[in-house]
Amino acid sequence: MKSAASLPAMMSAAAAPPLANFTATTTSRPSAPSIQCNLLFSVRHHVYSHKKYSKNGITIKYGDLPKHVRPEKGYSSTSVRGTIYCSNQKERNVGLPSDHIAVGAKVIYAAAPAMGHNQESHPECNSRVPAILTALEKMKLTSKFRGSDVVEVQNFRPATTDDIGSVHAGPYISGLEKAMDQASEKGLIFIDGSGPTYATATTFQESLLAAGAGISLVDSVVAASKVSKDPPVAFALIRPPGHHAVPKGAMGFCVFGNIAIAARYAQRMHGLKRVFIIDFDVHHGNGTNDAFYEDPNIFFLSTHQAGSYPGTGKIDQIGCGSGEGSTLNLPLPGGSGDTAMRTVFDEVIVPCAQRFKPDIILVSAGYDAHLLDPLASLQFTTGTYYMLASSIKQLAKDLCGGRCVFFLEGGYNLSSLSNSVAESFRAFLGDRSLASELDDPSYLHEEPLKKVKQIIEKVKHIHSF
């Protein structure tokens, strides 16, 4: 596999979507145990006896389940904030009651770091989510320091294959699941034509967990919005990322379309018909784009660097059929930064959302447009991400009862990634930004604001606002 430094060239053109082709490499690595269980959501402050087992840096606690839960076999993991129940029973927990989050919480998040899904020296590696969690702890943005303002949802179930099937083709899902045996034997495989997406023995189950985290947060936000006019913003700190995964296969580091799956779930299980998706990753979210290209009830809006991977997201790609006009792509010229994005938010994102009148806002939060990220050449700063988080939170409050869930996508410089997510948390909490202490303005250069203005005017003309 090429180094992170050589990846921009490797990702310069679009890759054809795969069906279910998986190619084994000769790379071998210790395989993590596959997780064969469903996670049942229950926030109660019980503590059960347990034994600890550590594998690949993850501590798993095995213990007795409470009497009212009687699966054939189960595991329990506990913390001061809640309890995780793992069961092989097929149970669906729809419409979580409001007591599953702290009343008055400002931020809820769930972490699915996919520690077994990893390739050494690959930018999309298993260090990403732990780096974020470490930064949140160091910067005192967790419940340990913020009390009930911040709630970590540790007890979520994996997505079901039916959940995944609401977006992805059956042959792809079953093909990936079957390929796990091959990954277990070989240590690492690549999904053909996915430009480039690897898989290990745990990829399928950990991808179900990532999608499940997003679904659980949708449940929690919806439940909170029924009892509060100011529900918490939710953030799914998950991997593998998802916005490049097309209906027929994986693509560009992404396995399942986490945000697309959550959008369909919100419609199906909560009756939230109109979903507004904002994607500010530096790369175009072609998978999300394709999933909803003909759907008038899901508005997909992407800002991304013009000419970057995967080569899609042209300004004239606006949806088709009954979905014409419900896709907006805004490719930004290289060098665009904070001023450009603030202008785009005020002049494009806000009026589009106001006209669409969403029931919920979902956000593909990619942090690879940061000045220090190795895979692109925009110049967002941590201050840009604070602005986006704060503005989107207010937009959701104004338009859809505060219902808003962020989904981690890209971001490959661990320092800028973790600092920028921390700034997003500060924005959700209403804290002042610390961007002036984190950003070095000496790295910035003049933005191409004339070109940005021309693109904005063209978008306004195409979409008639």
For the annotated catalytic residues, the residue numbers are: 244
CB 249 within 8 A of CB 121: no
Q: How confident is the model at residue 22 (pLDDT cuts 50, 70, 90)?
A: low
Map residue 19 onto helix, strand or coil.
Answer: coil
Map residue 207 onto helix, strand or coil.
Answer: helix
Give the model's pLDDT for residue 283: 98
Element (H, E) at 109: strand 107-112
pTM reported for the whole predicted model = 0.83
Measured CA to CA, the distance from residue 220 to residue 225 in angstroms comes to: 9
Give the model's pLDDT for residue 327: 98
Return the closest-CA partner of residue 49 out of 91, 81, 100, 83: 83
Q: How confident is the model at residue 196 (pLDDT cuts 50, 70, 90)?
A: confident
Q: How confident is the model at residue 191 (pLDDT cuts 50, 70, 90)?
A: confident
Q: How confident is the model at residue 104 (pLDDT cuts 50, 70, 90)?
A: confident
- With a cut of 60, say whether residue 34 has pLDDT above it: no
Q: Which of 81-95, 106-120, 396-410 has the lowest mean pLDDT?
A: 81-95
**What is the maximal distance between C-alpha atoms in the chain?**
66
Q: What is the pLDDT of residues 413-444, one digit of tens each?
A: 999 999 999 999 999 999 999 999 999 999 99
- With a cut of 50, say whether residue 51 has pLDDT above it: no
- With a cut of 50, say whether residue 98 has pLDDT above it: no
Measured CA to CA, the distance from residue 155 to residue 67 in angstroms comes to: 18
Q: Distance between terminal CA atoms of the chain? A: 45
Q: At 300, list the tokens.
A: 């997909």
More confident residue, 65 or 442: 442
CB 313 within 8 A of CB 15: no
Average pLDDT, the chain: 83
- With a cut of 80, say whether residue 29 has pLDDT above it: no
Residue 162 CB partners (closer than 8 Å, separation 6+): none
Q: What is the pLDDT of residues 310-365, one digit of tens each?
A: 999 999 999 999 999 999 999 999 999 999 999 999 999 999 999 999 999 999 99
Residue 446 CB partners (closer than 8 Å, separation 6+): 335
CB 265 within 8 A of CB 96: no
CB 235 within 8 A of CB 109: yes
- With a cut of 80, say whether residue 72 has pLDDT above it: no
Bond preceding residue 240 cis, omega within 30 of 0: yes
Measured CA to CA, the distance from residue 214 to residue 406 in angstroms comes to: 8
Give the model's pLDDT for residue 101: 58
- With a cut of 70, say whether residue 92 has pLDDT above it: no
Most confident of 81-90, 102-111, 295-304: 295-304
Q: At 406, list the tokens.
A: 């962020």
Map residue 51 onto helix, strand or coil.
Answer: strand
Residue 181 CB partners (closer than 8 Å, separation 6+): none
Q: What is the pLDDT of residues 244-291, one digit of tens each?
A: 999 999 999 999 999 999 999 999 999 999 999 999 999 999 999 999
Q: Which of 99-108, 302-311, 355-364 has the lowest mean pLDDT?
A: 99-108
